Amino acid sequence: MYNLAWAVVLLPLGGFLFAFLPESPRRAAQVCITFTGAAFVLAMVVLLYRVAHVRDNPYQSMVTFWTFDPGTKLQGGFISDFHAQLGVVVDGLSVVMMAVVAFTSLVIQVYATGFMRRDDGYTRHFGAMVLATFAMLGVVASPNLLQMWIFWGVLGAVAYVLVGHWWQREEAASAARRMLLVTGIGDGALLLALVFLFSKLASSVASLPAAPGQAINDPFNFFTLEKLWPAVMGGHVAGSGPRTLILLSLLLLLAAVAKSALLPLHGWLRGVFEEAPAPVTALLSTVTMTAAGVFLIARIHPLFVATPHVLSVVAVFGAVTAVVGAAVALAQHDIRRLLAWSTTSQFGLMFVALGVGASGAAIFQLVAHAWFKGALILGAGSLVTAYRTTDIREMGGAWQTMRTTSRAMLAAAASAAGVVLLAGFWSLSSITAGVLRNEFPNSGHVSDAVKVVLIVCVALTTLLGAIYPLRMVFTATLGDLPKRRGFQPQRVRELGRRVTGPTALLAVLATVGGFMGVPGVRATFTNFVFSGRPPGTGSAVAGLLVTAVLGLLGANIAWALHRGTIKAPDLGRAGAMLAEGLRIDDAYDWAVHHGLIRHAHLVERVDAVDAEVLDELGQGVALAAERGRRWQIGRVDAVTISAFAGAALVAGAIVLGATGHLPGVGATR
């Protein structure tokens, strides 16, 4: 049954290949949706089978598809430990992620059939969507780091096409380039991690007994390495030690930070939100691009557990990002920027969860986030199309005219805010519970100060995170239709059932889907995802209480802010800085432009001098030969021949010198 996982990964690729066969764009979209739908059905089959049989075999099953074994094909010389494998791993984490990715992509594609209806690049859009789905499924199904790197790279390249969909606009093209370049830092860090890992541990992995059912040991396999980390940490593996692991985990953290758009590499996400079509934004910021970073750390969590210092770095990175993201989001009036910062903030929370050892909670939050943020982004896409503006203050009145969208957005925003019993509440409270419980694997390494910082940050993020999504929905949908010049109220209407349906579906899941992961229960989501590992201990009640109180408090503040019963404090310059996203992107642009591009022409000037010098040198060599020259021919030929002769003289002198034929120079024979 687990062999079906193969089909889950490969079906979207088939969709891509067949999408360009039919003439009509509509057919192409149907092909893509059919293939993604089939992948989703199979993913559900695998998931349910896994759920049913988790007691029999709580560990992973690996299906290897292709093996590169230098031992059989390449004799000697070539590094004999270099085994590359492509395959599919079936464990709790991968089956859940496969189902979520396929499902979300399917829903978003259905939305896109309506939303992108009159777009020129319809076929290209759908082809790239399924290809991105394929790449992400390849990432989540990876049994080893090498395959993950390959699919990361593919994902980035496809996302480049997706984000640059409206390439006619200069800004969209810039956003696509920035996205690929910044996430490319992550790819580069992952590549370096691979190279580093291989040079340090490949021989140790090769000397281990081969895993059952495998002829060879894959040096990048997560599950083989998992058993090796503690030994390396203890210094029992020659040539490596704690420093190896710390460096390795820092590299992986850098890769994840770039891909998940955490501070300070978050800038690309804003471009995606502002310039890409809404379906692309929804796909990239929920289950593919940003999710890949969180997934990487969740997958290789045992490495971080072995290096607890880095684990607390992960948590602090996440906490700072979460608070800053939430604060900046609160200061935004642009709906797309607000959602971008809110995504950054939410992914920061997931990193906090990973950092405190509650990796199940991080994946739970990832899934819930896919639902509520997916609904918010899709709904925002409809709103922006209807109002032809991105400023929420210029919207309003959609509650009557766009009934489904506005209600779906309210439900999703309430879920994001952590209002009691909604999906976001359960996921947030499992993160809070993880932080409060101090689920640090080796908690002795983390100082109390860090714990306090984390708790304060998470509480602050929960409070702020309850205010901004609700305030956004209140401002954008309640009230009356705006009365500005040139505004066409008749345009404020739903885009059709193919657009509202997916939005509503995601909102419904964001409302009721959380019951699969009620924290503290035995057979719960987090215990399934990481089945085989000891489940978290301790009470979850504190987390539930804190989240419930903060969520309801935040919701009330949002309502009061909307009604005007309380006024937002005027922060002056600090508020302006927040509204502009702390100007971090501007600082980068300034540094690149003034530090690099403005002075880059110096290289060419140096090269011109270099060429002159070489010319002189060539002529100098030529002159040396010209002394004995008798014949007269064209200038170019003369220079060339003389250069040849001169160089021959020099070379001959070196030869004679080296062989000892010149007195006093070179080696003795």
Partner 1 sequence: MTNLLHVIAQAAPLPINPGAPTNPAAPTAPTTPTAPPFPTVLLTALIFSALACALIILFLPERTKDERGRIRIMGLVGTLIPLLFTLGGLNFQMGQEFSGGTISFEEKHSWIDAFPIHATYHLGVDGISLPLLLLSTVAFTVAAIAAWRNDSRPKLFYVLLLILETGVNGTLCSLDYVLFSVFWAMELVPTFLLISIWGGTRSARAAQRYLVNGAISVALLLGAAMLLAFKSEQGSFDFDLTNTVTLVKAIGYAGFWLTFAAFALRLPVVPLHTWMIDAASEASPAVAFLITSVLTRIGAYGMIRICLGAFPGGAGRFGFVLAVLAVVGTFWGFVGAIGQSDVRRLLAYSTLGQMSVVLLAISVGQAIALNGAVLLMVASGLGTGLLVLLTGTIEDRARTRDLHRLGGLAWQMPRLTALWIAGGLTAIGVPLFAGFAAEFMVFTGSFPVHRWATVLVMLGMLLNTGVLLWTIQRIFFGPAKEAFARIKDATTLELFYLVPLAGLALLLGVFPGRLLPIINNGVLSVVSRVNGGS
CA-based max dimension of the chain: 102
Place of tokens 């800085």: 577
Q: Which is nearer to partner 1, 183 or 477 (CB)?
A: 183
Among 3, 24, 199, 442, binds partner 1 (CB under 8 A): 199
Per-residue binding letters, 105-144, with partner 1 (x by CB under 8 A): ----------------------------------------
Residue 195: CB minimum distance to partner 1, A: 5
Six token digits for residue 213? 């059912």
Pinpoint the alpha helices (H) of 356-422. Answer: 359-387, 398-401, 403-417
Q: Which is nearer to partner 1, 177 or 403 (CB)?
A: 177
Q: Which helix (H) or strand (E) holds 31?
A: helix 25-53
At 93, which amino acid appears?
A: L
Residue 616: CB minimum distance to partner 1, A: 11
23 touching partner 1, by CB under 8 A: no
DSSP state of 87: E
181 touching partner 1, by CB under 8 A: yes
- Which of 229, 343, 236, 341 lies closest to 294 in space, CA to CA? 343
At 215, which amino acid appears?
A: A
Q: For residue 89, list its beta bridge partners.
A: 62
657 touching partner 1, by CB under 8 A: yes
CA 495 to chain centre: 30
Rounded distance, CA 526 to CA 515, Å? 12
CB 157 within 8 A of CB 180: yes
192 touching partner 1, by CB under 8 A: yes
Among 20, 59, 78, 515, binds partner 1 (CB under 8 A): 78
At 29, which amino acid appears?
A: A
Residue 273: CB minimum distance to partner 1, A: 19
Among 21, 238, 602, 633, binds partner 1 (CB under 8 A): 602
DSSP state of 217: -
641 touching partner 1, by CB under 8 A: yes
Among 79, 549, 553, 582, binds partner 1 (CB under 8 A): 79
Among 63, 154, 246, 481, binds partner 1 (CB under 8 A): 154
Which residues from 578-597 bind partner 1, rule CB under 8 A?
596-597
601 touching partner 1, by CB under 8 A: yes
379 touching partner 1, by CB under 8 A: no
Residue 88: CB minimum distance to partner 1, A: 17
195 touching partner 1, by CB under 8 A: yes
Which residues from 429-488 bind partner 1, rule CB under 8 A?
none
CB 150 within 8 A of CB 157: no
Q: Which is nearer to partner 1, 15 or 519 (CB)?
A: 15
Q: What is the DSSP string of 37-61?
A: HHHHHHHHHHHHHHHHHTTT--S-E
Q: Which is nearer to partner 1, 198 or 341 (CB)?
A: 198
Six token digits for residue 633? 């021919």
Q: Which bin fits 261, alpha (ψ -120 to 50), beta or left (φ > 0)? A: left
75 touching partner 1, by CB under 8 A: yes
Applying CB under 8 A, the span of 183-191, 438-446, 485-493, 499-507 interacting with partner 1 comes to 183-191
Six token digits for residue 529? 């995802």
CA 515 to chain centre: 27
Residue 122: CB minimum distance to partner 1, A: 14
Rounded distance, CA 572 to CA 576, Å? 7
621 touching partner 1, by CB under 8 A: yes
Applying CB under 8 A, the span of 226-234, 341-349, 531-539, 656-664 interacting with partner 1 comes to 656-664
Q: What is the DSSP string of 143-201?
A: SBHHHHHHHHHHHHHHHHHHHGGGTTSHHHHHHHHHHHHHHHHHHHHHHHHHHHHHHHH
Which residues from 269-298 bind partner 1, rule CB under 8 A?
none
Rounded distance, CA 334 to CA 336, Å? 6
Six token digits for residue 178? 């920035």
164 touching partner 1, by CB under 8 A: yes
428 touching partner 1, by CB under 8 A: no
Among 172, 264, 281, 474, binds partner 1 (CB under 8 A): 172
Q: Which is nearer to partner 1, 13 or 358 (CB)?
A: 13
Q: Which is nearer to partner 1, 149 or 372 (CB)?
A: 149
